[in-house]
Amino acid sequence: MISVILPYFNAQGTLRNAIESILQQSSSKFELILCNDGSNDRSAEIANSYASDKRVKLIKQENQGVAKAHAFAMQYAQGDFIARMDSDDSSHHKRLELQNDHLLRNSDIGVSATQVSFISSIYKSSGFQHFVDWNNSLLSTSEIRDNRFIEMPLVNPSTMIRRELYETHGSYQDNEYPEDYDYWLKLMGAGVKIEKLNHKLLTWNDSATRLSRSSKLYDPENFYACKAFYLAQELQSLNVRGVVIWGAGSKSRKRAELLLKHGIQIHAYIDVSKKLIGTNINGIPVYDYQDNEMIKGFFILSYVGNRGVREKIQTYLQELDLIAYKNFILCA
């Protein structure tokens, strides 16, 4: 019923714990595919020690990255549902059972995700903790969909997906974007419904060697470029070719300007800063956020990322009878 795909590369310190967390699942209807992505430490030796377990499949490839490792493993997967797992995390013993039931009971849901616990060996990890807390608060399909251009609204190794979605939409892409964010934005853009269980069924371990910290693929600039690509597609599907950007600061402008190469024009900025209101930035005027004629006349993209302020902006726009994804989108 379930294929668990676990790619690994030089994960000798954490791999055994990750494997054991799957083999000790309450559900018995699964296979675990361990894909060695060209490791040169003791990871392969650890994985091979489970060769006698009939639930385990051992495969390997030259080091090509997690996206290609996952696609390679899919060639061996036989389950109706495909669960992701990372080599430095651990799954709650009822994770597969609960996600399996979730998808069986809800035929309209394409992807089941879960809340996660967070453990970090990094001294300054408060930013990640804020991200996890925010992520855990997004449970419904609409909450996940409407927040997808702020940050990735689900944790990749907590997901279980219907096999037919891979067959329809393909696997993770090996491009310049972070493969997980790219994939989930692609699926949500295609209308796939994702729902998150209100249970912490994965322990997400943060360390200096985690790919999201150690690989240049996960640099913030690549996340912003990925967002801009799919945001432009979303705007075009709404027949929006020009927008007003809420946030005229340098960071907001830099992120918003990524839309230009995808054919989205910036008509104006709106802001609260008296120093900026009434000026022009690269020929684009800056208006007061209280200019309701401007706000109601154009599609608004809010790029203000300050915690708490984003929610105030959303409330302000809704009080003007504006609707998310009809009149505005919250970004970051």
Q: Which CATH number fits domain 222-330: 1.10.3470.10, 3.40.50.720, 3.40.50.2300, 3.40.190.10?
A: 3.40.50.720
Q: In whole numbers, what is the pLDDT of the chain averaged over residues?
A: 93
Q: Alpha carbon 142 to chain centroid distance?
A: 15
pLDDT at 219: 84
Q: What is the mean pLDDT of residues 115-129?
A: 75
Residue 186 CA to residue 169 CA, distance in Å, equals 8
> What values do phi and psi take at 266, rounded to 5?
-105, 115
pLDDT at 314: 95
What are the extents of the domains in the chain?
2-218, 222-330
pLDDT at 175: 84
pLDDT at 231: 98
Q: Which pair of tokens denotes residue 35? A: 């894909």
Q: Do 71 and 172 touch, CB atoms closer than 8 A?
A: yes
**Banded model confidence at residue 176, pLDDT cuts 50, 70, 90:** confident
Give tens-digit pLDDT for 197-251: 999 999 998 766 655 554 666 788 999 999 999 999 999 999 999 999 999 999 9
Residue 147 has pLDDT above 90, yes or no: yes
**Banded model confidence at residue 128, pLDDT cuts 50, 70, 90:** confident
Model's pTM, two decimal places? 0.92
pLDDT at 294: 86
pLDDT more than 90, % of the chain? 85
Give tens-digit pLDDT for 11-60: 999 999 999 999 999 999 999 999 999 999 999 999 999 999 999 999 99
pLDDT more than 70, % of the chain? 95
Q: Do 211 and 218 touch, CB atoms closer than 8 A?
A: yes
The domain made up of 2-218 has a fold known as Spore Coat Polysaccharide Biosynthesis Protein SpsA; Chain A (3.90.550)
pLDDT at 47: 98
Q: Which pair of tokens denotes residue 158? A: 């907590």
Give tens-digit pLDDT for 277-311: 999 999 999 999 999 988 998 999 999 988 789 99
